[in-house]
Chains A and B, each alone.
Chain A
């Protein structure tokens, strides 16, 4: 299989604090992981592309200093929301592609629902 695990599933934090979300590929190596954000009743919006061993590529309008991405190994990428504010409350989903599969399908983590008070 191809399992992507994301942690935590739910997090509530106070405004101004930082939150780290982990994304792990459990049974395959992922040179590239993607971070998406989804607001209620909207589709997934790509935030950034995370390549192992190099800097992440951010989509237009996404602040790289606010959403820190680290992809230190072939199985782990982290997203840190720094100085979170209520407008950052959203469903954050990571995904990874198995580099050994040709179809290129994305496998998604379970998602992390962030609520900033």
Chain B
């Protein structure tokens, strides 16, 4: 089966750094994604990792270790607008036409406080 775990909630201070962890156990692996979702809105893409290592994109970085089934999303210089849910998703099962479907974790609700 598919199992993706991430903490339910986290709180961090404006200007600080926060790390959101994600562990996964899936039958297949074709990449790991992080999405940001504000309440009542659709998710927006943050990052994609398919090889081990760190991918940096501005204030956001994402790390992957395939052997450990582990990823984290690092947010630096936190801003109030970063308060949102952060979804870890694994591209696993092949869904045809050269495409793989995504299985989502339950999401981590991040609250940034002044």
Contacts and interface: CB of A to CB of B under 8 A. Distances in A.
Interface of A: 6, 31-32, 34, 42-46, 49, 51-52, 54, 57, 91, 93, 95, 97, 99, 103-111, 113
Contacts of A107: 45
A97 B42 contact: no
Interface residues of B, number: 26
Nearest to B6: A43
A54 B99 CA distance: 14
Contacts of B96: 32, 49, 51, 54, 57
Contact of A43 (B30, B100, B105): B105
B106 interface: yes
Given A31-B99, A93-B42, 4 more contacts: A42-B106, A57-B95, A106-B33, A108-B44
Contact of B98 (A46, A99, A109): A99
19 contacts: A31-B99, A32-B96, A34-B102, A43-B104, A43-B106, A46-B102, A49-B96, A52-B97, A57-B96, A99-B97, A99-B99, A104-B99, A104-B100, A105-B45, A105-B48, A106-B45, A107-B45, A108-B44, A109-B42
A104 B30 contact: yes
Interface in B64-113: 87, 91, 95-107
A104 B92 CA distance: 11
Given A49-B96, A57-B96, A110 B31 contact: no
A73 to B, nearest CB: 14
A41 to B, nearest CB: 8
B92 to A, nearest CB: 11
Contacts of B53: none
Contacts of A6: 42
B43 interface: yes
A54 to B, nearest CB: 8
B91 A104 contact: yes
Contacts of A113: 40
A38 B106 CA distance: 10
